[in-house]
Structure 1
Amino acid sequence: MMQIHDQGLRVIDAHIHFFSHQFFQSFLRSRGRHLPEQDPRRLWERPGWDVPPPDPVELGHRWVKELDRHGVALGVLLTSILDDEESVAKAVHEFPDRLIGFLRVDPTRPDAAQRVRHAVERLGLKGIKGFPAMECFHAYDERVYPVYEEAQRLGLPVVFHFGLLQSAIGAALNLPSQADARFCNPMDLQRAARDFPRVNFIVPHFGAGYFRETLLLAAHCPNVFIDTSSANGWMRYMPFPMDLKLVLQRALEIVGPERIIFGTDWSWFPRGFRRDILEEQLSILQALGIAKADIQRIMGENLARLLGVTW
């Protein structure tokens, strides 16, 4: 097993889904089912998942123990459903030196900007996560601009998932994706990135199938960053052979190491931290001959700079 400390690297995982108890309740209700009170594990025998505890602090503690076990300094918890930022905030409040929280928001809602303010100023969250294809909005829609204005005022990074969207839990239970592909193209973000130059936008998973568009966007917008998270299964849909080494090499050529951010996309237990993703990406960066200082930027410094955190 690769030892991160032995290599003198400090790691921030920029992409962890916080699957709270409320998330599971909401997921089941949305499909007309309720989490049984007596034996909730029955529903998860097929995917083999642990149902999260009702107390988000207990779940946060489990994340921190995983970070400790794998030598990861900080983890960013992404709120996984709308209106569940309180769960993330409770975990982050208990472990402020190890966990950072992002709010999930539907930026087309009339109260979206207010929710952002509340999440940051009252709950201590430090970023925004959105799913254009789930909430059915284009990133250039001016209804979204009040959220960008708050992000610019408060210094918040904005993560928008573009491209393919199939949740791990949906895949495990053989459920169809609810995403609307009309809103999947990261080029939608170009106008907003231009209009809000002090907002740092992050496109995860290399654009999740829209790799070319993500590179075009980032090449023209210096405030667009690329996150490396997930196993990047989208590569198999490309019309030509592609592997992660080529993806990382091309991203480095276009945007440089200063705008690439490491993440894993881990989400559930008992699988826990995706060390395989960390080791694969780190090995590729080393094989490409990337300087250690640049690897450190990708593995943590870039995100720490965006968040203004000392680590």
Structure 2
Amino acid sequence: MPVRAYCDCHVNIFRDEDVLPLYETQISRVRPSGGMAPKGDADTLYAEMANVEKAIIFANRYADSVGIASDDELTAAAVAKYPDKFVGFAAIDPRMPDCMDLLVHAIEDLKLKGVKFGPIYNGVALSDPRLVPVYEYLQKNNIPLTMHMGTTYARNAPIDMGRSLHVEPIALQYPDLVMVLAHMGHPWYDDCIVVSRKQPNVFCEISALFYRPWQYYNILIAAQEYKITDKIFWGTDFPAARVDESVDGLLTINEQVEGTKLPRVSDETMQRIIWSNPFEHWWHGDNPLQG
């Protein structure tokens, strides 16, 4: 019987031509047998997401760090092709002189419903003045902001910019801006958990964590102990990880501690995350699935 989840909140879309030589050079250091990135086109994503009800998809503007550079038009076209499955987020790079024009176009013309930003990948700190108009626009227009939080294998990506502690001042300054911390801020997951616990407008998600099972176990136990499991959402980071292995990685997390007195990740926690619904939490009153 196939494993299922409600919403994959972290799915990357790109064309073959969006994958640059830099990507293959870097990924070979961390996944020697990985080679080039798997397909990330709309049809591939749709097939992969067969066992989830909804998928939040976004392009990557990470040409000089990861080596993948796609765009919002690609995201919008995928949503138009599969509107019952995909919800599109815009991708921003604050270094681009037309960043705000592209953002307004993505939200108001392409009708994308959120934004994805990678401070560590673009080399732009969350406190950078170039982000002020972005924050103001998103807060004014009820648009959530998903951010890559945590480390990365990319060499040209300042690690400190992936620390979740940098989110708190922004969350306080923009209390109506919903901020979603991807990857639980790994390996500094405690920072992610305590910031999310303190700030009502900060949420987090567990994409691309299951393949480090001991770290993943500790993340989930800490989240239970701090009582923030209602603020954690499920995702894959496809094509970095697939739906079936991501669900299975969560459901089998306790196997590594069988026969010990260590605490267990509860069934309630697992089911709450797998069936989490960002559309009930990331927007203030307006459900993007209804307009």
Q: Settle same-fold status: TM greater than 0.5.
A: yes
Q: CA deviation at 1:284?
A: 4.4
In the TM superposition, what are the counterparts of 1:1-311 in structure 2 within 5 Å?
Answer: 1=1, 3-4=3-4, 10-24=5-19, 27-28=20-21, 47=34, 49=36, 52=39, 59-68=41-50, 71-81=51-61, 84-166=71-153, 177-232=155-210, 242-267=214-239, 273-284=242-253, 288-291=265-268, 297-305=272-280, 306-307=282-283, 308-310=287-289
Contact 1:132 1:138 in 2 (8 A): yes
Contact 2:7 2:52 in 1 (8 A): yes
1:23–1:222 Cα change, 3 Å: same
Q: TM-score under structure 2 normalisation?
A: 0.79
Instruction: Return the alpha-carbon distance in structure 1 between the equivalents of residues 230 and 37 of structure 2.
Output: 37
Q: Deviations over 1:110-162 (max 9, x none)?
A: 43232222101111211111111222222122321110111112211111112
1:190–1:234 Cα change, 3 Å: farther
Contact 1:190 1:221 in 2 (8 A): yes
What SS is found at the alignment partner of 2:52?
A: coil
- Letter of the aligned partner of 2:183 in structure 1? H
Instruction: Return the alpha-carbon distance in structure 2 between the equivalents of residues 265 and 66 of structure 1.
Output: 12
Q: CA deviation at 1:100?
A: 1.3
Contact 1:159 1:203 in 2 (8 A): yes
Partner of 1:39: none
Partner of 1:7: none
1:251–1:76 Cα change, 3 Å: same
Contact 2:148 2:181 in 1 (8 A): yes
- Letter of the aligned partner of 2:274 in structure 1? M
Q: Deviations over 1:265-287 (max 9, x none)?
A: 1127xxx83311112213449x6
1:297–1:124 Cα change, 3 Å: farther
Q: CA deviation at 1:295?
A: 5.2
Stretches of structure 2 that go unaligned for 5 or more consecutive residues are 26-32, 62-68, 255-263
Partner of 1:42: none
1:207–1:51 Cα change, 3 Å: closer
RMSD (CA atoms): 3.0
Instruction: Return the alpha-carbon distance in structure 2 between the equivalents of residues 89 and 15 of structure 1.
Output: 16
Q: TM-score under structure 1 normalisation?
A: 0.74
1:109–1:48 Cα change, 3 Å: closer
Instruction: Return the alpha-carbon distance in structure 1 between the equivalents of residues 182 and 59 of structure 2.
Output: 15
1:50–1:283 Cα change, 3 Å: closer
1:147–1:74 Cα change, 3 Å: same
Identity over aligned residues, as a percent?
Answer: 24
Instruction: Return the alpha-carbon distance in structure 1 between the equivalents of residues 190 and 13 of structure 2.
Output: 29
Q: Deviations over 1:187-244 (max 9, x none)?
A: 1111111111111111111102111221222122121111100035567xxxxxx442
